[in-house]
Amino acid sequence: MSSLFQRIRIVLVEPSHPGNIGGTARAMKTMGLHQLVLVNPARFPDPQADWRAAGAMDVLDSAQIVKDVSAAVAGCHYVVGTSTRARAIPWPAILAKDLGSVLTEQAEGTEIAILFGREDSGLTNEELQRCHTHLQIPSSQEYGSLNLAMAVQVVCYEIFQFLAKTSIQVSAEGKQEQSQLSGLGSRIWDKEPASGQQIDGLMEHLETLMVQSDFIAADNPGQTVTRLRRLFMRQRLDETEVQILRGLLKAIQGKMR
């Protein structure tokens, strides 16, 4: 259980209030999480963040500050983005209560990022398209707006309580075997999962080929690229699968020339 906790990073994208940063640090530590990444925080470090963090100053002190979401999820193989709004192109989505089971089904050693958006506007469409799945916290239709730190607390709690009640057995080879699986089924990982950078490279390569072949117009690609990205994110490609696809694209480009 602790191994998975060490591989999860909580990412706050452009938080405007330092109190929410401190509250997030406290929410994380109470549930055993310690990796906090801040994307362009408006005010940090700040005394209000320290005050709200209470006994979680170690989480604040070790927080990483980066300039954009790409840097925040660098090296990650699985990215979850919190979202409450319906999208023009629906994306794979789960409820907060199901997050623990989904995370435990990822390949051993998978680096995970959970993104939380701006207090007033959430995550942008482009940021959400970097995610393998979107996460929703059910709330009242009358007033469903959760404070940022409260949202983090809910998500961290759901991960903690799932892992606390799920027995993890260690095999003779030293590998973790989960005693119960969710209804989503389990993936056979014989190769390392592809990172976000590898998926980005594949999408850039694919878009270039589609423009070169006149399959899409460079100035008006429509939603084709977005839908293909959703396809690849949903299928959870591994490194070898990405290499095969890029090799295929390169061969096609060579024939075109």
CATH code, domain carrying 230 = 1.10.8.590
For residues 82 and 143, state if they share a domain.
yes
Whether 151 and 209 share a structural domain: no
In a domain, 113, yes or no: yes
Please indicate, yes or no, if residue 30 is contained in any of the structural domains.
yes
Please list the pLDDT of the chain residue by residue as tens digits (257 residues).
Answer: 458 999 999 999 999 999 999 999 999 999 999 999 999 999 999 999 999 999 999 999 999 999 999 999 999 999 999 987 766 778 999 999 999 999 998 998 999 999 999 999 999 999 999 999 999 999 998 888 899 999 999 999 999 999 888 744 333 344 444 434 333 456 778 899 999 999 999 999 999 999 999 999 999 989 999 999 999 999 999 999 999 999 999 999 999 98
Which candidate, 107, 111, 242, 79, places its Cα nearest to that of 187? Answer: 107
107 and 6 within one domain? yes
Q: Would residue 184 count as lying in a domain?
A: no
Residue 238 pairs with which residues in a beta bridge? 193
| Contact between 70 and 122 (Cβ < 8 Å) | no
- The pLDDT of residue 156 is 97
- Domain assignment of residue 248, given as a range: 196-256
Shared domain for 164 and 223, answered yes or no, is no
- Residue 142 shares a structural domain with residue 203: no
Tell me: do 8 and 64 sit in the same domain: yes
Angle at the Cα of 31 (from 29 to 37), degrees rounded to 5?
50
Q: How many CB atoms lie within 10 A of CB 135?
A: 23
Residue 177 has a pLDDT of 44
Q: Domain boundary residue among 102, 135, 170?
A: 170
Q: 137 and 203 in one domain?
A: no
Asked if the structure places residue 239 within a domain, the reply is yes
Among 170, 187, 205, residue at a domain's last position: 170
Q: Which residue has the tokens 């590898």?
A: 198
**What's phi and psi for 63, nearest 5 deg?**
-60, 140
Identify whether residues 93 and 40 lie together within a single domain: yes
135 shares a domain with 32 = yes
Q: Residue 100, class by beta-carbon neighbours within 10 Å (0-12 exposed, 13-18 middle, 19+ buried)?
A: buried
What values do phi and psi take at 155, rounded to 5?
A: -65, -45
- pLDDT on residue 22: 98
Final residue in a domain of this structure, among 170, 186, 207: 170
pLDDT at 2: 59
CATH number at 50 reads 3.40.1280.10
Domain co-membership, 142 together with 244: no
Report yes or no on 241 lying in a domain. Answer: yes
Tell me the C-alpha distance between 211 and 209, whole Å: 5
The verdict on 227 and 154 lying in the same domain is: no
pTM of the model: 0.82
Residue 12: inside a domain, yes or no? yes
Residue 185 lies in a domain: no
CB distance 91 to 131 below 8 Å: yes
Q: Say how many C-beta atoms besides its own lie within 10 A of residue 137's C-beta.
A: 17
Domain count, the chain: 2
Same domain membership, residue 147 and residue 104: yes
